[in-house]
Amino acid sequence: MTTLVWLRRDLRLLDNPALSHAARQGRVLPVYILEDNEVPGMGRAGRWWLHHSLSALREQFRQRGCPLILRRGNPQQIIEDLVQEAEVTAVCWNRLYEPATIKRDAAIKEQLTFRGLEVRSFNGSLLNEPWAVETGQGGPYRVFTPYWRQAASQVAGDRILPVPELKGLESPVKSNDLRDWGLLPTKPDWSGGLAWRWTPGEKGALDRFDKFLETGLQKYAGYRDFPAENAISELSPHLHFGEISVRDIWNRLTPFEELAGIGRSANKFRSELGWREFSAHLLYHFPHIPTEPFRPEFSDFPWQQDDELLECWQQGMTGYPLVDAGMRELWQSGFMHNRVRMVVASFLTKNLLIPWQTGADWFWDTLVDADLANNSASWQWVAGCGADAAPYFRIFNPVTQGQKFDPQGKYIRQWVPELRDLDSDEIHAPWQVQKERTGGYPDPIIDLKATRERALAAYKSLK
């Protein structure tokens, strides 16, 4: 029996339910398909990540005598071709939960089953599947706290699946050359900062998690909001591409749960994984959230498109140091700390009144962890129009946020080098010091107080 494993965002060998299932059946044909018509198309930072993740995974499969096949085009057509070429008898994959993907996968499953193949799909990326957590009345949750109370109680905590023994096919199957896919940037190659920061692939993911358990976890509850403290896991891109199993993470936190001092951090960390689950739950039940506000009254919000202001925000040239540090961290390294994401998103949607969808699009292109569920739900949360969102009138002040969460200005100095020589009591408001000391750093592009009032007035106009 030969089982084709269609790998998607489960680019790992450990605790991979579809791969383990296939290995138990007999010969395994692992395949990754680059879709031509993916909706929404992957952003540029994500493509960089995918290239390196596939390169690492291909090597893992090669070492086990079971080559990973790369093909490009329409998944249904490619799977059908491979079924013929390699005498495949069964097909399996781990499920994805974006609305368009669910529909597409269901159609492929039906078609292959109709042709007499055995088709199985598995949960390889969530602690609970989106439909498995229901309110007492049987519907979806809209508020995080009750959702997570219920969802956390349902986590099975089963032992994870080991890396399976793999038996490849006897005759070779044609594969594309990864380099021909053009996933990497060339003219110009802007990916130096990404390569400096990240190691895509399963080993990179597991090493990062080990490091977090050793040095970050103990500080997590107290310092996760402080961008210069290295108290976060930075696992989000690895989780997005499925290079590490969320069940593995969950289980490896269990020994810390009851430990004095660190137990609070372990539980806090688990509840952040809960936000990931909640976002997937929301996207599944409310498939319009990538483009439409969860709260319909926000459809009439008087947003203002302004390309000049948008460009200042994108380039980290707003004149507000914490915002600019975050946007430059994003541009240079494909990542931004969560606290700073909230501040820059609030600045865009409330101080600049630019629609949250415009910000989400920029994040989609530039984040290595760009994820439809997390990105859509988080942008809506900050903009005030999402499920269980921050109230609209909560407008982050980037100056006081900087003073509170980056009190020494260490994070700002790292990403905004023009301000490196300012003292910590000056760095959050550089317009108050002499121009010669701020190395060409721009003046604030807007007035915080006036734009805050404008935003509140716009919000009131909705009622």
Which letter, b or e, does each residue of 399-430 get, where b requires 16 or more Cβ atoms within 10 Å of its Cβ? Answer: bebbbebbeebebbbebbebbeebeeeebbbb
Region of 281-289, 292-300, 339-347, 395-403 interacting with ligand FAD (CB under 6 A): 339-347
Torsion of CA 423, 426, 432, 436, to 10 degrees: 30
CB of 2 to ligand FAD, least distance (A): 34
Nearest-5° Cα angle at 330, 407 to 371: 115
61 is known to lie in a ligand binding site: no
Catalytic residue selected from 198, 379, 381, 415: 379
Question: How far, in whole angstroms, is CA 322 from its chain's centroid?
Answer: 22
Contact between 55 and 61 (Cβ < 8 Å):
no
Binding of residue 236 to ligand FAD (CB under 6 A): yes
What is the rounded CA–CA span in Å between residue 289 and residue 293? 6
Is residue 235 part of the contact set for ligand FAD (CB under 6 A)? yes
- Mutual angle of helices 263-285 and 144-154, in 10-degree steps: 110
Confirm or deny that 389 is annotated as ligand binding.
no
Using CB under 6 A, pick the residue from 4, 82, 232, 262 that binds ligand FAD. Answer: 232
For residues 24 and 352, what is the distance between their CA atoms, to the nearest angstrom?
56
- Does residue 343 bind ligand FAD (CB under 6 A)? no
Q: What is the smallest separation between the CB atom of 391 and ligand FAD, expressed in angstroms?
A: 15
Candidates 247, 67, 231, 220; CA nearest to 155 is 247
Closest to 329 (Cα-Cα) out of 189, 184, 198: 198
Q: Is 119 helix (H, G, I), strand (E, B) or coil?
A: strand
- Residue 97 is a binding residue for ligand FAD (CB under 6 A): no
Q: Would you say 415 and 327 are in contact if contact means Cβ atoms under 8 Å apart?
A: no
For the record, the structure tokens of 431 come out as 């317009």
* From 123, 176, 292, 303, the catalytic residue: 303
User: According to CB under 6 A, which one of 15, 98, 202, 234 is a site residue for ligand FAD?
Assistant: 234
338 is catalytic: yes
Q: Which is nearer to ligand FAD, 21 or 339 (CB)?
A: 339
Residue 303 as a binder of ligand FAD (CB under 6 A): the answer is: no
Please list every residue from 382 through 441 that binds ligand FAD, using CB under 6 A: 382
Q: Is 459 annotated as a binding residue?
A: no
Q: Is 342 in the site for ligand FAD (CB under 6 A)?
A: yes
Candidate residues 12, 341, 350, 413; the one interacting with ligand FAD per rule CB under 6 A: 341
125: contact with ligand FAD by CB under 6 A: no
Encoding tokens for residue 32? 């990754």
Size of the site for ligand FAD (CB under 6 A): 27
374 binds ligand FAD (CB under 6 A): yes
* Contact between 367 and ligand FAD per CB under 6 A: yes
49 included as an active-site residue? no
CA-angle at 349, arms to 346 and 353, nearest 5°:
135
Q: Which stretch binds ligand FAD (CB under 6 A): 106-114, 139-147, 297-305, 334-342?
A: 334-342
Residues numbered 258 to 297 that lie near ligand FAD (CB under 6 A) are 272-273, 275-276, 279
Give the active site residues: 272, 275, 303, 338, 356, 379
Summarize as ranges the residues that interact with ligand FAD (CB under 6 A). 224, 232-236, 239-240, 272-273, 275-276, 279, 338, 341-342, 345, 363, 367, 369-371, 374-375, 378-379, 382
